[in-house]
Structure 1
């Protein structure tokens, strides 16, 4: 309701227009009855013309009212959906990685688009049909009872029959709509995965496999949709059957009253029209209930997002504090699933002084990325503490902490926009000279100037129009422009040659001499000059030391070093 509140004026106007529309429509059968009974039968032409003109006036008013209702209903519905979509997106921006993993990106995309659209349509239709139907039902019922209360008894049998049938249809359809939206998530996930990784698909010639996978997801959605629709389609035949039975009953009992002289033929025609209006209003309500039963599935999915408790927020007493760069891990344990998962990191204790360069090496799955992601609170430690400048990271506000920690993640991501726009993610207020200086330090300036438009070259979504090495260097430049007290490089130079990597490391020493640097790397040559080298093995610290110290005492380090030396010699 809070997202609909800004449009309450449009809602009230839509309701007023609908009220006028219904009144204009409900009086028509009575006016027609007067023309037939008091005009045609007596040959009173002036009366026929006068009442006929009144009917035309009411019809024109109904047209204007219908247009006004449709216009303001659309304004309120579309505005409501825009606000809800914005609210959902803003909520997702507060999510931790764990929150996002719980939903999946494909499901979140479906909820922000398809589910919100369904709620928008339900909102617009409710301002039209959901208001029109009850008003018409009430007014037509009053007119029918006023005209012939005995004949209106037919409705006592008809209406409960309709309600029972409608309740059965909705109860059966609701779980099927839930299944349909889940299948929509799966289909969107399949499409998103394929389009994101289309180059891999083509390079491995797996188009046929992807077609089969898409067909499977598409067929599952089709099947779920058909099962839901097969239930819903019973709604119209049931409504038409009941409406026809009601008409036959009115003609049967009303005809007897006309023969006995208890009811005029014109009045029976008007009564039948009111019966039609009553049953049409019930039909509209049944359509709305079916729409609502589908929208309710979307409503629950949207509310799951809005009501999600973000598990990583500012702690009480957290503040904005400048960071010098000391980092300490005190007996840190970490698991991605605190309830049932296994520890990815176990009893990590490490102390790093401001300005030091710390290298983290280890095999695949050793926990290297998990370790550095605890520093900017992308995740929180399950046990133990991560300290920056002697303070628990939870004593900093999330925004203050992350704004002072630069990260070049393992998966390099660029966004659609110019190269300059992408680099200014590091500092939106940076001058052109500062942007170029960061690019030069990251060894990106030369290839940028090789493009026809230089720094104004457009980057396609995901950076698909630059190479892997170029993408890595742009991401490094973006982090350098931030000038952070702490910089984390997660295997961020794997796609560049050793000479370029050497120049980047030299730039770190000059441009970021006071910055604490965490470097995750596979090559010993990338880390041997580090102040500390941390060897992780199966989530634990196997050893810590300088290159010379580890080469002298650590068998694991020796194995890595000499195996790489042999590969370089063979190359």
Structure 2
């Protein structure tokens, strides 16, 4: 391994950088690359509103022509043609506005989803251990989709409706300046009412998104633990819990609908119609304006229908989108306390490992240290067995080597260099940990084996499978290495999954190999073959074996006995059987 070029875990490459200071700045920074679409939307909205306002103006002119004595019908055809052509142009502009809004919404959804996915991949295991998967899925799917809807139809309709209000202020004064009174009063009350409405709506939409996340969390946990649930005959209790969560979501939506139903916009519109028409008729009676102006002005007042109708749900969509954006940004901004050290050491390891006064306590829940003042040194190429009772801290010890977690105090050194001074990608790419709970992706066996080395050839994959004793059972499948396993590898037995994991480790050729009770599900007939495979794999690399199997412990160069987070004894098997009561007790039990 001459060079390391893998992406570091916590700063995966992003095409764009975004301002994450506040939710609004974050959304704007996502929209900024598509400024040309914003211009398209605004031009389309202005053109659409202007041509919509042009129709009642022409209608008023036509009305005046018809009430003349004698009626001047010669203007009707030109006016009709102008109206027809203007509305065709309006339709094109409206199409452009809607297309631009949809294009922008879809692109922003893609960008936000990509940013969130990269952020999740870059989070530490502390984050993933504490963050419910169901809630993460809700934010990654439903919340991201809500941000899409915030832009289209939300922002799209709000921009369009705002232009309709503006056009009324441009067109009404052409008949009489005082005709601005009604639209001015309407606009003031409209935006005051809208501000109060949005202030009341925000916490409700936050609750809607939060309750949906809680419901999704319970659903995810129920599906993951369905075997345990069925084994304990607790289907009824889990259904009751889900129904309770679903009821909370429903209640939140009902509260949102109730607030939307009490919004005063429709009442305000009717009042504006009545007040504006009375005002125009009074001016007509005084001889200040003609009848055509009254007709045109009332037609212009009807432009207020669009902002009124859209405000009853478009602003609700924007509020939901903002709530979703806050939830997404909160997840992205969640701190990870593990520094990747991108400029750290990235050379090939020899495999010498040393623990110096290491203590460790999990960040959550806070409690006593699970590892306390541990010190030992392993030479390059040695095989070390770590034994101890359940809960002694053996797995926690292994997770400190590749910086799944960082030590609370002390140092873990590889080749004499603190692991925190290594480039994280370089460190982890040369350490392979195989745990008892094997995770396989819902992909082909070949892809699962080559997961750590995507460019591996078929010959390399087969060679690794033979070394892990997996080749023979893979050939028994109809599609051999092309066989797609079920989610988490459920279509394979425990022993088969572990042999696939061993093949994956052999293929990456790590300098340090950690086997965390990884052969517990292998039957006796296969165990001897696996032992030889592990022995071959251990040559030339440092190997840690966490196990209770005497057959694996005997041939270790060094055995470390763990008890309550401390080293109780250290030595060879024969030495410890004579000198360590804690070690000999493990085999008696």
- Is the counterpart of residue 117 in structure 1 residue 145 in structure 2? yes
CA distance in 2, matches of 1:509, 1:187: 48
Aligned to 2:30, the other structure's residue is in SS state coil
Change (3 A) 1:57 1:491: same
CA distance in 1, matches of 2:78, 2:210: 59
Residue pair 2:448, 2:504 contacting (<8 A) in 1 also: yes
Partner of 2:83: 55
Structure 1, 328-337 or 502-511: larger mean CA deviation: 502-511
Deviations 1:171-193, CA, capped at 9 Å, x for gaps: 12211222221212211112222
Deviations 1:496-552, CA, capped at 9 Å, x for gaps: 123423321221222330111111123334323222222222222222222222222
Change (3 A) 1:31 1:354: same
Correspondence for 2:497 among 458, 471, 488: 471
- Is the counterpart of residue 534 in structure 1 residue 560 in structure 2? yes
Aligned to 1:536, the other structure's residue is in SS state strand
TM-superposed deviation, 1:338? 7.6
Partner of 1:12: 39
Residue pair 1:338, 1:382 contacting (<8 A) in 2 also: no
**What is the number of equivalent residue pairs in this alignment?**
561
Aligned to 2:401, the other structure's residue is in SS state coil
- Is the counterpart of residue 560 in structure 1 residue 586 in structure 2? yes
CA distance in 2, matches of 1:229, 1:285: 13
Q: TM-score, normalised by structure 1?
A: 0.93
Change (3 A) 1:106 1:474: same
> Which runs of no fewer than 5 residues in structure 2 stay unpaired?
1-27
- Point out which structure has higher relative CO (alpha carbons under 8 A, 6+ apart): 2
Correspondence for 2:168 among 140, 158, 169: 140
TM-superposed deviation, 1:66? 1.3
- Is the counterpart of residue 21 in structure 1 residue 48 in structure 2? yes
CA distance in 2, matches of 1:372, 1:3: 41
CA distance in 2, matches of 1:543, 1:222: 59
- Is the counterpart of residue 239 in structure 1 residue 265 in structure 2? yes
Structure 1, 354-363 or 121-130: larger mean CA deviation: 121-130
Q: TM-score, normalised by structure 2?
A: 0.90
Residue pair 1:257, 1:263 contacting (<8 A) in 2 also: yes
Partner of 1:174: 202
Correspondence for 2:333 among 294, 307, 310: 307
Within a 5 Å distance, the mapping from 1:454-493 to structure 2 comes to 454-493=480-519
Aligned to 1:406, the other structure's residue is in SS state strand
Within a 5 Å distance, the mapping from 1:474-553 to structure 2 comes to 474-553=500-579
Residue pair 2:467, 2:503 contacting (<8 A) in 1 also: yes
Correspondence for 2:159 among 124, 128, 131: 131
Partner of 2:15: none
TM-superposed deviation, 1:307? 2.6
Correspondence for 1:186 among 214, 219, 228: 214
Change (3 A) 1:276 1:363: farther
Within a 5 Å distance, the mapping from 1:359-438 to structure 2 comes to 359-438=385-464
RMSD (Å) for aligned C-alpha atoms: 2.1
> Which runs of no fewer than 5 residues in structure 1 stay unpaired?
564-571
Correspondence for 1:262 among 288, 300, 305: 288
Residue pair 2:148, 2:321 contacting (<8 A) in 1 also: no
Correspondence for 2:466 among 440, 451, 454: 440
Change (3 A) 1:455 1:341: same
Residue pair 1:141, 1:278 contacting (<8 A) in 2 also: no
